[in-house]
Chain A
Amino acid sequence: MKVWRYGDNVNTDQLFPGKHTYTCSTSEEILPHLLEDLDPSFASSVKPGDVIVAGKNFGCGSSREQPALGLKAAGLAGIVAESFARIFYRAAINQGLVLVELPEAVAAWRESDEITIEPAAGVIHVGDRSFQVPPLPEMLLSIRDAGGLLPAVRARLEIERRTENHD
């Protein structure tokens, strides 16, 4: 796995340029442009299991969800940051993408350290150090663990439909 290290205030225009926002919606369309204006090498070399480590306010700016959708589709194991911008945070939960908001873990990372995230156990391993990840609220956890918001909503609507049919 590779760790991609970025700084503070990485914004959505860097993660996915606005000029593509209304022509690229599916993961296949998004992937070639991921992080285009931040790190042109990212899209062609990101591998499943990779991790992004960043500073504060990751994902600030627009409400566009393509960064979260694309990073999930690329198989990213998660993003570890000092903090996330709120719409990006929601978008990531809604795609089932793992976020770890933990400044200690960011500070602990050294070049060549591997990172492993265990979302269910709430643990992140950075090199030979391990950190507890603050647990997500139950409602957000249920969305992430369903694989994202739409799978969760589909399941809910289906249950409601069946219940109505039984009444």
Chain B
Amino acid sequence: MGLTFAQKVLARSAGLSSVEIGQIVTVHPRHLLTHDNTAAIIGKIGEELEQYGIADPDQPVIVLDHISPARDTASAEAHRRVREFIARFDLRHFFDIGEGICHQVMLERGLAPPGEIVVGSDSHTCTYGAVGAFATGIDRTEAAALLLTGETWLKVPPTIKVLLSGSLPAWVTAKDLVLKLIGLIGADGASYQAVEYHGDIDKLGIDERITISNMGVEMGAKIAVFPVDDLTLDFLKKTGCSRTESQLIWADSDATYERVVDFGLDEVEPVVALPGAVDDVVCAGRVSGTKVDQVLIGTCTNGRLSDLQAAADILKGRHIADTVRLLVLPSSRGVFEAAIADGTISDLSIAGAVILPPGCGPCLGAHMGVLAPGEVCLSTANRNFKGRMGTPEAQIYLGSPLTAATTALTGVITDPREVVEPAAMDRLRSGGER
């Protein structure tokens, strides 16, 4: 009987010849990601760190991104404690403020190798499934234990196979695809389970796969993984991630699945998630005309170069509505610099956007760009929970960068097909990592 990706990776990592679904195994993850919460994590184990040191100094990757740059004295002190910790234990994988959102940094720096286990004290660690890593989120206490022991336990999950077929129509993006899929599967539909993407994945660029894997946790998934193909190998080469045996791990064709979901790409339309729940997904047209106070384009979900280019292609030579604020949040320094070099940033700025430094801040209401009670935001982020952007009395819709850009242009939620120019779409379809 064939094996799933999760079974193969977990058996290999645990040093076992095979593992059963539901079995609990002890593993030594290749990397442990922590971010601003490193300060709280090391605060739990100050004495133990002095006594026992760090179990595997090559394992931790630390990125300051959530409140970046520091918001107030408390966050500045937290950052300082993290920098002192890095120096004290001479850790090599440290990225200070401005380098980018942790998940983008992990990918760009080749720290999420395919076929290997990466855990992170952030729920969107599942993002690295886009390049074939077994990547999943854990809590701070577990991250603290990992610093001391290098090990943790994982339960071998059952797997949902999502079989993609066809290709996305014009005006439709990977964000629409994954929102529609989450609407179909439900916010807990993949709980405790792995999600494997199969089928016509060659139609999806790396940036698009990253958006899709990033949102895996919004359907409850432990991992959301794509197979490694030539596109992945090109991407990995650029990031300095050397070729290894583990890159070749993928599910057997006769693996046993909990469920197979057939998903046609041709039928996807521009959609939005309604405020309060990521799985409450409707066609953008159904809420078109809804007045919006703020639009956020960026984050670890949609802050890559192709996302910013898509927005700029719509906004270039135009100006956003005077009733709306547009925030642009590139996902890394690399993305930011590339978007400066090709004119994307100036196009967006001239159109009225406020460009924020790479980081997480407004997405979770932690820093910059928070909302006032009663305000409405359309965001390209991954969560629209009540209170997410600072106040429970604000409303957050989720959509694609195209929907966000057209909404910024009109000041009301707008299906991008109503205003987008064909030339812009042509460039989008051939752009990014595609």
B82 to chain A, nearest CB (A): 11
| Contact of B149 with A156 in the complex, beta carbons under 8 Å | yes
**CA distance in complex: A22, B121 (Å):** 13
Q: Tell me the B359-398 residues at the A interface (CB within 8 Å).
A: 364-366, 370, 383, 385-388, 390, 392
For B145, the chain A residues whose CB sits under 8 A away are: 94, 149-150, 153
A121 at the interface (CB under 8 A from B): no
| Contact of A87 with B138 in the complex, beta carbons under 8 Å | yes
Q: Tell me the A120-167 residues at the B interface (CB within 8 Å).
A: 137, 139-140, 148-150, 153-154, 156-157, 161
Contact of A18 among B51, B144, B366 (CB under 8 A): B366
Contact of B123 among A9, A36, A63, A139 (CB under 8 A): A63
What sequence of 0s and 1s flags, for each residue 187-218 of chain B, a beta carbon within 8 Å of any chain A beta carbon? 11001100000000000000000000000010
Say whether, besides A63-B139, A150-B44, A13 and B220 are in contact (CB < 8 Å). no
B96 at the interface (CB under 8 A from A): no
| Contact of A86 with B222 in the complex, beta carbons under 8 Å | yes
What sequence of 0s and 1s flags, for each residue 70-103 of chain A, a beta carbon within 8 Å of any chain B beta carbon? 0000000000000101110011001100000000
B287 at the interface (CB under 8 A from A): no
What sequence of 0s and 1s flags, for each residue 137-157 of chain B, a beta carbon within 8 Å of any chain A beta carbon? 111111011001100010100
Q: How large is the interface on B (under 10, 10 to 19, 20 to 34, 35 or more residues)?
A: 35 or more
Contact of A90 among B67, B142, B220, B392 (CB under 8 A): B142
| Contact of B149 with A153 in the complex, beta carbons under 8 Å | yes
Give the A-B contact count at a CB cut-off of 8 A: 135
**CA distance in complex: A139, B24 (Å):** 8
B368 to chain A, nearest CB (A): 12
B285 to chain A, nearest CB (A): 26
| Contact of B142 with A149 in the complex, beta carbons under 8 Å | yes
Say whether, besides A14-B387, A153-B149, A65 and B188 are in contact (CB < 8 Å). no
For A22, the chain B residues whose CB sits under 8 A away are: 36-37, 39-40, 66-67, 74-75, 78, 366
Q: How large is the interface on A (under 10, 10 to 19, 20 to 34, 35 or more residues)?
A: 35 or more
What sequence of 0s and 1s flags, for each residue 68-92 of chain B, a beta carbon within 8 Å of any chain A beta carbon? 0000001100100000000000000
For A139, the chain B residues whose CB sits under 8 A away are: 24, 153
B48 at the interface (CB under 8 A from A): yes
| Contact of A57 with B44 in the complex, beta carbons under 8 Å | no
For A157, the chain B residues whose CB sits under 8 A away are: 48, 51-52, 148-149
Most buried by A among B123, B125, B149: B123
Q: Interface residues, chain A, CB within 8 Å of chain B?
A: 9, 11-14, 17-19, 21-23, 25, 36-37, 56-57, 60-65, 68-69, 83, 85-87, 90-91, 94-95, 137, 139-140, 148-150, 153-154, 156-157, 161
| 5 pairs, A vs B, C-beta closer than 8 Å | A22-B39, A87-B137, A91-B139, A153-B149, A161-B52
